[in-house]
């Protein structure tokens, strides 16, 4: 295996593989070797001179030992190492930049010479923050232990070899006589890095080759913007890592969620925003890496129930006008008295007759001698217990046996009868977009999400003219 200076590698006993670092470490995690960065290639040959077989190369690798508070180097043969395909977790790839002085000079259209290199370092890198290339994988490394009461494993970070965030305070050439590599022509420069050493309780300094380091490029100006939203009533439009496919909805996907900001959390070299996630119904950490997409409270919410401000609550939830294919935020208590809040996409509104005999008795339809209109309704609803609700007014409700089938109008009192159960069929985002049915009498609060399709499916904020 051919390795280059700056490559991130694992020792063969490490639980990570070359293509998969999303692995949790159980049992005795202290046996886990550090993630290494190739520091030197100690041999030019990769093949045995007598057999012609590929034998690899001897390398020198570097890592940071937090227990000793220092950088350590070890000679290891390449046959004992596994090369990592990725050295940065995907979502944070824009925050860690490779340091390549040659490319920087080309971008600036400057000639490669000692003077240009020194000017570049002083203008771009001096007093910036850097860290060892293994930082993100070490930060991502987790161990799992004893199970919780509900069977979930307790997960904690395994930070024994996490390299520090450092400041560049000076630089030098690796060799005063050989300032450029005789094979590649790259400038051989080391940065003098300074960091607070938590083990020694003082500041430490170390010269490190630029090819071993990442430049930390976090947009700090965003923190002030996000800080203004803490504990406000507005929401942030946040892209989901994995889209939610709505069941039986022509491949419709929810790609965004809404979160209320609660706190800014520092995580070694980057910042997360702790949010209360509307769709997932729990607190979620989201990487701060983009301009904020604020959705004000007045823009987000449409019709609500109960509407105390406009005194629209006297007739109960049955009077609320649900619209098909719209998104709603509901507070719901099921038959087992379990309370939850969830975002749903309405598919249908229908009702079920639970006790036909009791219904007829309440409506005075038990005898055959009933009025012509009531007789027509009684005849229409015979033979099945489930009906679609197509439209509603304050006095009447239009119903049908089939979706968009033959309709008949019944009074509101019919729907409000205790022997009739009105149900919502909806795609529930809390349940991964699966179809669920909700008893209308179990919904204690509902809010319509204005322009929900644009917000949650397309990530577009639409502000009505009246706003």
Could you tell me the residue ranges of all domains in the chain? 8-216, 221-297, 301-452
Are the C-beta atoms of residues 202 and 194 closer than 8 Å to each other?
no
Nearest alpha carbon to residue 380 among 400, 366, 360, 359: 400
pTM of the model: 0.83
pLDDT at 43 (0 to 100): 65
> In residues, how long is the chain?
467
Could you give the dihedral angle defined by the CA atoms of residues 269, 158, 64 and 83, in that order, rounded to the nearest 10 degrees? Answer: -90
Q: How far apart are CA 454 and CA 66, in angstroms?
A: 48
pLDDT at 247: 96
Confidence at residue 1, expressed as pLDDT on a 0 to 100 scale: 66
Name the stretches of the chain with pLDDT < 70: 1, 43-49, 52, 54-55, 147-151, 310-315, 368, 464-467
Residues 6+ apart with CB under 8 A from 143: 24, 25, 26, 29, 155, 156, 157, 158
- Nearest alpha-carbon partner for 35 in 63, 60, 56: 63
Write out pLDDT tens, residues 246-287: 999 888 999 999 999 999 999 999 999 999 999 999 999 999
Cross-strand partners of 65: 70
Provide the CATH topology of domain 221-297. SH3 type barrels. (2.30.30)
Strand stretches in 246-314, DSSP E: 253-267, 270-277, 282-287, 294-295, 301-305
CA distance 155 to 282: 17
321 Cβ neighbours under 8 A, 6+ residues apart: 303, 392
Distance CA 248, CA 232 (A): 36
Summarize pLDDT for 176-188 with one digit per residue, the tens: 788 888 888 889 9
| β-bridge partners, 30 | none
């Amino acid at each position: 295996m051919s390795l280059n200076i700056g490559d991130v590698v694992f020792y063969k006993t490490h639980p990570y593989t070359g293509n998969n670092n999303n692995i949790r470490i159980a049992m005795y995690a202290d046996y886990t070797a550090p993630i290494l960065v190739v520091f030197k290639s100690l041999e030019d040959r990769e093949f045995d001179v007598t057999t012609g077989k590929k034998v690899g190369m001897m390398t020198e690798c570097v890592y940071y030992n937090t227990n000793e508070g220092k950088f350590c180097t070890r000679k290891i043969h390449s046959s004992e190492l596994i090369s990592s395909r990725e050295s940065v977790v995907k979502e944070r790839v824009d925050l860690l930049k490779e340091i390549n002085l040659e490319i920087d000079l080309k971008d600036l259209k400057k000639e490669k010479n000692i003077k240009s290199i020194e000017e570049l370092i002083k203008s771009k890198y001096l007093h910036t923050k850097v860290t060892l290339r293994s930082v993100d994988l070490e930060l991502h490394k987790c161990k799992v232990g004893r199970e919780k009461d509900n069977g979930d494993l307790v997960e904690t970070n395994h930070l024994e070899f996490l390299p520090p965030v450092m400041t560049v305070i000076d630089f030098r050439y690796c060799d005063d006589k050989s300032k450029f590599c005789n094979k590649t022509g790259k400038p051989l420069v080391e940065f003098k890095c300074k960091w607070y050493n938590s083990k020694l309780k003082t500041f430490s300094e170390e010269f490190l080759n630029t090819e071993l380091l990442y430049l930390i490029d976090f947009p700090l100006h965003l923190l002030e913007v996000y800080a203004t939203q803490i504990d406000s009533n507005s929401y942030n439009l946040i892209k989901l890592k994995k889209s939610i496919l709505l069941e039986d909805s022509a491949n419709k996907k929810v790609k965004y969620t809404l979160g209320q900001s609660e706190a800014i959390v520092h995580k070694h070299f980057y910042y997360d925003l702790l949010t209360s996630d509307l769709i997932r119904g729990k607190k979620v950490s989201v990487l701060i890496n983009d301009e904020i997409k604020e959705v004000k409270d007045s823009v987000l919410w449409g019709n609500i129930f109960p509407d105390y401000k406009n005194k629209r609550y006297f007739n109960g939830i049955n009077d609320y006008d649900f619209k098909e294919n719209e998104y709603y935020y509901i507070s719901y208590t099921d038959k087992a008295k379990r309370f939850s809040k969830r975002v749903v996409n309405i598919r249908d509104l229908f009702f079920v007759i639970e006790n036909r005999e009791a219904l007829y008795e309440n409506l005075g339809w038990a005898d055959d001698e009933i009025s012509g209109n009531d007789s027509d309704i009684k005849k229409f609803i015979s033979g099945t217990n489930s009906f679609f609700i197509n439209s509603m007014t304050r006095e009447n409700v239009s119903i049908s046996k089939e979706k968009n089938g033959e309709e008949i109008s019944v009074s509101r009192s019919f729907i409000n009868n205790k022997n009739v159960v009105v149900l919502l069929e909806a795609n529930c985002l809390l349940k991964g977009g699966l179809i669920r049915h909700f008893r209308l009498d179990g919904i204690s609060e509902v809010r319509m999400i204005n322009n929900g399709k644009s917000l949650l499916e397309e990530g577009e904020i639409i502000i009505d003219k009246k706003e």
